[in-house]
Structure 1
Amino acid sequence: MEGLTSAADFWVIGINYRKADTALRGSYAINERRYEAILTDAEHFGVSALFVLSTCNRTEVYGFAAQPGQLIDLLCRHTEGGADTFKEQAYIRNGNEALNHIFNVAAGLDSQILGDYEIVGQMKQAYAFARDRGCTNSFLDRLFNTVLQSSRSIRSGTQLSGGTVSVAFAAVQFIRNHIKSFDHKQILILGSGEIGQTACRNLAALAGKDQITLINRTEEKARLLAEELGLRAAPLEALSGYIRKSDIIIVATAAATPLITVADLQEGDEKILIDLSIPNNINADVQQYKGIVLANVDDLSRISDETLRKRQAEVPKAKELITCHIHEFAEWYLMQQHVPVLKAVKEKLHALNTQLADARLQDDDKQAVQKALNTMAKKMRTEEQRPGCNYIETIHHYLKQTVA
């Protein structure tokens, strides 16, 4: 995908948990079908390269455009939410601020649960989806690779993601705070994506495997995960029956409409319902029954423990590593901007060498030219001097050496 490639045209527009609740975030969430439509339509909105990150905590568009409104209009064209509401709740970042933001997101510094490493896998999937459809460019490719390097450095060099804290883990903590024991509790997990899988593994360590049933829209996927963990799997058609007989239900799907509503429950039911989906897949009206306890991702984010306090102490180290990787990317970007100048200098030096040098120097042409270019490139990386000044200085210095 060709088009704008300057850092000045690089934007991130988005909403997240800081200002938008789960209902509002849900109106801007995208699934695979919507993502495909956004990428297809991007050119019509003047967006030259992009990828979209949509998770339970955020929807963000990273891309190149003359104005951020082009990215906003593109997103809102393919979601339920309106552009005016989005602008009221959104953050818009450009250039260096946009670069800093993507590094922070990948590090887990901007996550609802500090240091949540699940975001990296979600970013990889989102980026691969756009790249495989030819919707990225060399700037984004290099940037994203550097972002992943930064994330790996932080994971190996700090304890920012130390301990066990995630949305799925917080869900288990929430359950434990509301029951005395898992004995004889029937557990239903709806959805076998990354969060659903984590919830399965966490609960399998606390409850009997014969107490847990997994249901997924794609039955085969649920069956394979159930076999791996020694759990039960059931078809989607059996959902109503399992809702009635389950004491604990965790929903982590990407359905466009709620999968559990008031009609699935009745007065006298005593159940813990946890909705890890965006948009919400459990209708909030189920709370009209006194025995129903409902929590969503915003409720779970308030769970705090010693692990989170330890992670907070690692933030300065993580930011130092991010700074190093941003500088690395900036150096690459500046040199890319200088490529036309370096090419012009190389051509000029070869021409001068042909005119001025004797036969011996003709043989050393390539070595001398490359040495001059290396010197110039080094100065362009480390000095504030304009490329034109470096061009003149390099030509002048080369002439002095050649004539001498």
Structure 2
Amino acid sequence: MAIFTLGINHHSAPLAIREQVAFHVETLPQALSALTRQKPVREAAILSTCNRTEIYCATEQPEAAAEWLAEYHSLEREAIKPFLYTLSPRDSVRHAFRVASGLDSMVVGEAQILGQMKDAVRLAENAGTLGMHLHKLFQRAFAVAKEVRTSTAIGANTVSMAAAAVQLAERIFESVSSQKILFIGAGEMIELCATHFCARQPKQVTVANRTVERGRVLADRFGGHAIRLDELADTLGQYDIVVSCTASPLPIIGLGMVERAIKARRHRPMFMVDLAVPRDIESEVGELDDVFLYTVDDLAQVVASGIESRQAAVIQAEAIIDTQVDSFLHWMESRDTVPLIRSLRDAAERNRRHELDHAMKRLTAGDPPEKVLEQLSLRLTNKFLHAPTQALQLSDAESRQELQQAASRLFHLHPDDSPGH
């Protein structure tokens, strides 16, 4: 059994493609069960964020997972094939370690992906699709991420997506402090954005959420108030800045809604940030005059400038990861020998018990203990060496040298081990 990774991320595909293969948290248990019901896929975990959808699986046929991904999302395999990557076992291990450590993120060194990966692992475990191989992989990935963060400066002065959104807003408005802000959703990303924007002390803060009680909890933290999602159409025009990140499978802000809002605002500019995948705001909104719409891919360009300053830490982190990849692969390879080692030990144990029974009978019959012990040791030695000795004697010239080398390694033999030396 081998570990493979296949997926689509911000390096391989634009947002328009990524949102087509995204999974929602509510559907992931069912999706994992459906995937592992296919016999070739024994273990599986799915990491689905705004920047990536990746399937980590233990299988001998990774193409089965790729076919399932396209079928699950009702897509033609050829439609996503140019954007889909399938990583070999070694590359899969290295990729998992890099993702957990924040090296494969839009913002190098960001810590949010580690929490998202832990959530994905917990969900797979609860769904019963996280077997021994993937469990070991992710536990090692989390340990590597901790080592990278404590041993390097990879997370120092990281520019977050939330900070980038504030930076962009300040290009449109002279001061955020005089603007009214609407946050749509109440998840972790919105909480991060609210923290950054509210540090500028905006004029008004509103949180719109499907569950108004949850929205109110977040709004109270920042001295704002909460509204229901179905109130958006009537109130959107009141806000200068709109930041949205929900788990909705379809856009919740359409072109018509924004056109009406702009008209009500008498064409005063509106700054909008859509951090959701799939998108919360229809892409056509970005074509309107007086609307400045940014997606996660747009924010990536803003934060990219900070990457160069962290390259020294990245080099250190990559060295740590390379060492840990070799260690993990050695563990994986050792798992392949477990059945053989178990068979070897079982055979030795059977011989031991057989010879011990024989020796006990001789002692009961009155044979001298010294003689019984001598015979016991000789019989055990002969039985243990019979099979390898016979294999060496019956081997042809081509395989004899290979067997001799293997015997020397297995029994720690040296040229001077023969009698008389």
Q: Which amino acid aligns with 2:343?
A: A
Which residue of 24, 31, 34 corresponds with 2:24? 31
Residue equivalent to 1:251: 244
Aligned to 1:379: none
Code of the aligned partner of 1:328: S
Give the letter for the 1:262 counterpart. L
* Residues 1:338 and 2:337 are matched in the alignment: yes
Secondary structure, in 3 states, of the residue corresponding to 1:132? helix
User: Do the aligned partners of 1:349 and 1:395 also contact (CA within 8 Å) in 2?
Assistant: no
Name the structure 1 match of 2:169: 175
Partner of residue 270, structure 2: 271
Choose from 62, 81, 93 the match for 2:56.
62
- 2:243 is paired with a residue whose SS is strand
CA 1:99/1:238 → structure 2, altered by over 3 Å: closer, same or farther? Answer: same
Contact 1:154 1:321 in 2 (8 A): yes
SS in 2 for 1:53: strand
Residue 44 of structure 1: how far off its partner (Å): 4.0
Higher Cα Rg: structure 1 or 2? 2
How many residue pairs get matched? 370
Identity %: 28
What does residue range 4-403 of structure 1 map to in structure 2 within 5 Å? 6-7=1-2, 10-46=3-39, 47-208=41-202, 211-266=204-259, 267=263, 268-304=267-303, 307-350=306-349, 355=355, 389=406, 393-394=410-411
Using the alignment, how far apart are the partners of 1:162 and 1:88 within structure 2? 35
Instruction: Tell me the distance in 2 between the aligned counterparts of 1:197 and 1:246.
Output: 18
Distance 1:13 1:306, change over 3 A: closer
Distance 1:213 1:325 in 2: 46
Gaps of 5+ in 1: 1-5, 366-384
CA shift for structure 1 position 173 = 1.6
State the distance in 2 between where 1:391 and 1:53 align. 47
Distance across 2 between alignment mates of 1:96 and 1:132: 27
SS in 2 for 1:265: helix
2:343 and 2:258 mapped to 1: Cα distance?
74
Which stretch of structure 1 is more off in the superposition, 123-132 or 335-344? 335-344
CA distance in 2, matches of 1:200, 1:129: 27
1:349 Cα offset (Å):
4.3
Aligned to 2:301, the other structure's residue is in SS state: coil
The 1:205/1:262 distance shift into structure 2, 3 A limit, reads same
Task: For 1:24 and 1:391, locate their aligned partners in 2 and report how far apart those are by CA, in whole Å.
Answer: 56
> Is 1:244–1:264's contact at 8 Å kept on the other side of the alignment?
no
SS in 1 for 2:343: helix
Name the counterpart of 1:372.
none
String of CA shifts for 1:20-65, please: whole Å, max 9, x gaps. 1111111111112432332121244332110111111111111123
Measured after TM superposition, the shift of residue 229 of structure 1 is 3.7
CA 1:331–1:197: 2 relative to 1, 3 Å: same
Gaps of 5+ in 2: 360-368, 378-401
1:82 CA drift (Å) = 2.8
What is the TM-score normalised by the length of structure 2?
A: 0.80
Query: Aligned residue for 1:369?
Result: none
Which whole-Å CA distance do the structure 1 matches of 2:209 and 2:311 have between them? 36
For residues 177 and 200 of structure 1, the distance between their equivalents in structure 2, rounded to whole angstroms, comes to 18
Determine helix, strand or coil for the equivalent of 1:301: helix
For the 8 Å contact 2:36–2:44, the answer to whether it is kept is no
Q: Is the 8 A contact 2:90 2:325 kept in 1?
A: no
| Preserved CA contact (<8 Å) 2:159 2:303 | no
Which residue identity is paired with 1:293? F
Cα distance in 2 between the residues matched to 1:104 and 1:174:
29
Classify 1:109/1:163 alpha carbon distance in 2 versus 1 (closer, same or farther; 3 Å): same
Equivalent position amino acid for 1:132 in 2: N
- 1:136-163 Cα distance to aligned partner (Å, 9 max, x none): 1101101100000001111111111211
TM-score by length of 1: 0.83
